Homo-oligomer: A and B are copies of this chain.
Amino acid sequence: MTAPALDVFQVIADPSRRQMLHLLSNESMTINALAENFDMSRPAVSKHIKIMYNAGFISITDIGRERYCTLKQDGFNELQDFINYFDKFWTSKLKKLETILNNKAGK
């Protein structure tokens, strides 16, 4: 179960990973603690964690034999950039519409 290197968009494409991110938004958790919330084997969870780590969504701190996973902002920023681009598209489109309407009102 070697983890493939996925980009941020592929990371959040998986429902289980999105769920893990939600769980981690409440508290830092170990691999096993996370695995208890899912109907899949621990190695499967382990792989997901690695994928999210590689894409910059989480940081990992080893404490003894445990690995604590914590949310990290980097991965989310890339997503934000994507959304922002299209956000600008909609708002500028809206402004154009406003301009047209104002011109009509003015005449």
Q: A12 to chain B: which residues have CB within 8 Å? A: 9, 13, 82
Q: Are A71 and B83 in contact (CB under 8 A)?
A: no
Select one of B22, B83, B89 contacting A79, CB under 8 A: B83
Tell me whether A61 is interfacial, beta carbon within 8 Å. no
Chain B contacts of A87 at CB under 8 A?
76, 80
- B-chain residues with CB within 8 Å of residue A25 when the two chains form the complex: 85-86, 89
Contact with B along A85-101 (1 / 0, CB 8 A): 11101100000000000
The contact size tier of chain A is 20 to 34
In the complex, what residue of chain B is closest to A79 when comparing beta carbons? Answer: B83
The minimal Cβ–Cβ distance linking A78 to chain B, given in whole angstroms, is 11
Tell me which residues from 34 to 80 in chain A have a Cβ below 8 Å from any Cβ of chain B. Answer: 71, 73, 76, 79-80
| Residues A21 and B86 in contact, CB atoms below 8 Å apart | yes
**B18 contacts A82, CB within 8 Å?**
yes
